[in-house]
Amino acid sequence: MTARFYIVGNWKMNQKLEDINNFFKDLGDLGNERQYEAWLAPQAIHLTTLLEKANALNIQIGSQNISDNDSGAHTGEISPSSLIDAGGSFTLIGHSERRSIYKESNDFINRKTLLSLEKGLTVIFCCGETLEEREKGMTESVVAYQIEEGLKDIPSNLREKVIVAYEPVWAIGTGKTASPEQAEEVHLFIRSKLTELWDGTLSHKVPLLYGGSVKPANVEGLLIKPNIDGALVGGASLKGADFRALCDAADKRSKLPGQLQG
């Protein structure tokens, strides 16, 4: 993975057609000389709605969820190959809403991850602790277990297509963001975990995104940390002007020293 900065919008089950049109109107042109990536994960039903506009702006499109099967009798699921056919290049996997509401296990998440990578998608693998787990001092053990189980058995040639998003559950959609120091501490831990599981050269290139109430007002403080390579953003990615401000912060950060090299 070429390491630059990433702003990834997770639209969740939001954005009607009119909202999407307004989003692009407000977003404007992001320019071509970018050293950061701007990606969007709309509702699956709107993947192709967005595609032309996103392509024109060099924004990659992906899905919020994916199947652990590529075809067949799996009503309601999204096939990795069909996502690629539709113009998608990445998928989120293991988002805390999938883990908690839809009871996705680490094993299921691992199967989705392996299949998605094998089919050619980039995987944004989400992990993070609940408030109760943090208060019990379990943040590292929870994140370590999610990574060990969710990212196990990935062949070495596919590891470069993995991005890890640290999303503390207590910060998602709550307005309570982790402080840059709290996020950096866990990112550093994730990097050491990846070094232990894979190898140091690669683990230093894996982009680590922070997610949890990121907004234009706090993004700069997060991106300045050496192990925070971008943001996975829900609420503040819905409006074109906000997404633009997040992208502008990534653009500014990408021009400063200290970014990872691919």
In the complex, minimum distance from the CB of residue 86 to ligand PEP, in angstroms, rounded to a whole number? 22
| Residue 167 designated active-site | yes
In the complex, minimum distance from the CB of residue 156 to ligand PEP, in angstroms, rounded to a whole number? 28
Positions touching ligand PEP (CB under 6 A) are: 10, 167, 172-173, 211-214, 232-236
Write 214-218 long-range contacts (CB < 8 A, 24+).
214/177, 214/246, 215/177, 215/242, 215/246, 216/242, 216/245, 216/246, 216/249, 218/177
Q: 165, 126 in Cβ contact below 8 A?
A: yes
Among the listed residues 97, 167, 184, 187, the single catalytic one is: 167
CA distance 24 to 53: 8
Which residue's Cβ has the minimum distance to ligand PEP?
A: 234
Which CB atom, from 115 or from 233, has the smaller least distance to ligand PEP?
233
The sign one gets for the Cα dihedral 69, 145, 208, 127 is: positive
Among the listed residues 95, 97, 184, 187, the single catalytic one is: 95
Q: Which residues have a Cβ under 8 Å from the Cβ of 187 and sit 6 or more positions away? A: 166, 208, 210, 225, 227, 228
Q: Which residues have a Cβ under 8 Å from the Cβ of 52 and sit 6 or more positions away? A: none
CA distance 219 to 210: 10
Which CB atom, from 59 or from 82, has the smaller least distance to ligand PEP?
59
Which CB atom, from 56 or from 217, has the smaller least distance to ligand PEP?
217
Which CB atom, from 82 or from 232, has the smaller least distance to ligand PEP?
232
In the complex, minimum distance from the CB of residue 8 to ligand PEP, in angstroms, rounded to a whole number? 8
In the complex, minimum distance from the CB of residue 101 to ligand PEP, in angstroms, rounded to a whole number? 12
The residues that are catalytic are 95, 167
